[in-house]
Structure 1
Amino acid sequence: MAALSVLDTELLTQDLPGLAQVAVASPIYSGERGQIEYRVAGDARNPAVLMLHGLGSSSAGYRAQLAGLSRDFHVIAWNAPGFGGSSPISGQDAGIDDYADAVEGLLCALRVRRLAVLAGSSWGSVVALAFARRFPALVDSLVLSAPNVARGHLVGDARAAELNAWLRTADIDIPVSRAAIADKLLAPDAPPLVRQHVERLRDAMATEGWRQAIRSLFTISTPDIISAVRCPIAILSGTLDQVAPHRDHAARLLAAAPSATSYPFEACGHMLKLEAPAKFNAIIRQMAAETWSEASIAK
């Protein structure tokens, strides 16, 4: 990938906001109450932007968005249920709609009435789509980064075999080289600063939360639901993504939702928010501006 720009470097060297927790009321939790951990930056009176991380990540992956968007937006990045200090969903078999319910509970707890942009990366894009389908009045626009078609189309023995294969690897006690993880997630020549951040993202993972999230991927097929989402959608994909190659994931979503806008990230891998943070942030701003303009015209 290309060398980081001065702005990219500035965004990636900013300190993360501290972690906070909020009590959330929802039937997805034991006793119908849980805690969600999150980071926040920016004035709560500004338009809200919520960031949803992927399976092997956390709110820390949105360092550059919390830093770069906070002047104009109320930026929130969660740790999904079962990640970091967030309460896990009750039981083992969490579905994707349970995570959508958790997002709604978080917004209620934080008194956020509407999102200018809901951004999801990888597995987070799956949660974002499920949320936008279920709660359309709460979302003005979607940004899906390195999106995933999920595995809900699988049935029978094929489903069981693939799910079990995923679950066998989902154990934080299995020794895995951080460098090897970064090699898979990033473009081959990713700058050391980007690799450094990516190698730390698994720190907020717990085995059971990871396994719950994996199971949820097998409860939905995103090409089947994206056409039901009525808000503007931006689909971001890295041309060197080894985890969710464009042809297998983003291209299928674009085919199912022709009105969505495609944004290729040349020479980038799976972690677009860290590999090209200034470009990522510019798309967030563009989506927010376009939906604000459309809302103004409608009035």
Structure 2
Amino acid sequence: MLAGLADTFAEAVATVDAGGAQVAYRSGGGQGPVVLLLHGISSGAASWLPCASLLAAHARVIAWDAPGYGASSPLAGKAPRAADYAVRLQGLVRALDLRPAVIVGHSLGALMAAAYLAQAEPGRRPARVLLASPAQGYGATGKERKAAEVARQRLEALATLGVSGLAERGPARLLSPHAAAGAREWVRWNMSRLNPDGYRQAVAMLCGDDIDAYLARRPEGVPVEIGCGTLDVVTPPIGAETLAQRFGLPFTPIADAGHACYIEQAAAVARWIRAALDQRPAR
């Protein structure tokens, strides 16, 4: 897997604004339509390698390291919103001169993808958005107690276990009991590269924002779909399906997958993405 990163999913860094902020990203595939991949709170760009490898013959695949992850500059302030991550993503899209065919956001990346769609300039909007195992956030009115509890649990775990400890326990929560050993090791390796400060910012965003606010402002003409692993215990499928119903969006169950569905069932998620590429409107 590590050799594959260097050979087929190489890392690069782009300067994305006048202040010199940088975004690290990995790219692979050919010159076809652009698929932009956004990871979740416990991961990074490299984690998409199994799925990206299956898309390489059909698309140009780009996965970013979110602000505060990998070599990407952190955002200003301790409690950014998804809209702030979306602004940084807009900078990357402009720097690379992209108009994504499909944006795929996983977990907290789904919140970022929804925020990007809500505020992207028309010329940089994706043709389609897929939200995989979406983290919906705890920032809505009435969720204050839950937000405080989630933040306390996550930050206490970081302080007590450290990044290495979080990585050791990660596969048991992010994958189903049936996951292959290679998938478990891949989750563990990617989690071991977390930046504590970037993780803390992401926790603040998770607990202070709400995906509904962004989906309510999505532009007409950009289809959005939601999918979730049938064995996901982090963002259970009932919650993802309820979100889809709330906004009248298609829902796709991803069989035999836990939360990190794009690692555990890379082929199924790649098929979902390829179907979205096939269905995108002509431009």
Judge same fold: TM > 0.5, yes or no: yes
Determine if the alignment matches structure 1 residue 191 to structure 2 residue 183: no
Determine if the alignment matches structure 1 residue 262 to structure 2 residue 251: yes
What is aligned with 2:29?
42
Q: Residues 23 and 34 of structure 1 are in contact (CA less than 8 Å); yes or no, is this contact kept in structure 2?
A: yes
Q: In 2 relative to 1, CA 38–177 (structure 1 residues): closer, same or farther, beyond 3 Å? A: closer
TM-score, scaled to structure 1: 0.85
CA distance in 2, matches of 1:76, 1:175: 27
CA distance in 2, matches of 1:289, 1:14: 30
Q: Deviations over 1:181-205 (max 9, x none)?
A: 1011111121112112111111331
Q: Deviations over 1:105-127 (max 9, x none)?
A: 00111111x11000011001110
Q: Deviations over 1:15-50 (max 9, x none)?
A: 122221111106xxxxx221111100123x421111
What is aligned with 1:232?
223
Q: In 2 relative to 1, CA 156–252 (structure 1 residues): closer, same or farther, beyond 3 Å? A: closer
CA distance in 2, matches of 1:179, 1:110: 35
SS in 2 for 1:38: strand
What is aligned with 2:17?
25
Q: In 2 relative to 1, CA 246–136 (structure 1 residues): closer, same or farther, beyond 3 Å? A: farther
Bigger Cα displacement from structure 2, 282-291 vs 65-74:
65-74
SS in 1 for 2:101: strand
What is aligned with 1:169?
157
Q: Residues 128 and 142 of structure 1 are in contact (CA less than 8 Å); yes or no, is this contact kept in structure 2?
A: yes
- Match for residue 97 of structure 1 among 69, 75, 83: 83
RMSD: 2.1
CA distance in 2, matches of 1:219, 1:115: 28
| 1:161 Cα offset (Å) | 4.7
Q: Residues 110 and 131 of structure 2 are in contact (CA less than 8 Å); yes or no, is this contact kept in structure 1?
A: yes
Which blocks of at least 5 consecutive residues in structure 1 are unaligned?
A: 1-11, 27-31
Which AA in structure 2 matches 1:118?
I
CA distance in 2, matches of 1:161, 1:212: 16
What is aligned with 2:113?
128
Q: Residues 83 and 206 of structure 1 are in contact (CA less than 8 Å); yes or no, is this contact kept in structure 2?
A: yes
What is aligned with 1:211?
200
The percent identity for this pair of structures is 28
| 1:177 Cα offset (Å) | 6.1
Q: Deviations over 1:232-281 (max 9, x none)?
A: 12211111111111123x023112221x2211122211111111111111
CA distance in 1, matches of 2:265, 2:143: 40
Q: Residues 149 and 252 of structure 1 are in contact (CA less than 8 Å); yes or no, is this contact kept in structure 2?
A: no
What is aligned with 2:137?
150
For these two proteins, the number of residue pairs brought into alignment is: 274
| 1:174 Cα offset (Å) | 5.8
| 1:13 Cα offset (Å) | 9.0
Which blocks of at least 5 consecutive residues in structure 2 are unaligned?
A: none
CA distance in 1, matches of 2:56, 2:164: 37
Which AA in structure 1 matches 2:67?
P
Q: Residues 96 and 219 of structure 1 are in contact (CA less than 8 Å); yes or no, is this contact kept in structure 2?
A: no
Q: In 2 relative to 1, CA 178–169 (structure 1 residues): closer, same or farther, beyond 3 Å? A: closer
Q: Residues 223 and 252 of structure 1 are in contact (CA less than 8 Å); yes or no, is this contact kept in structure 2?
A: no
Q: In 2 relative to 1, CA 125–244 (structure 1 residues): closer, same or farther, beyond 3 Å? A: same
| 1:64 Cα offset (Å) | 1.8
CA distance in 2, matches of 1:284, 1:55: 21
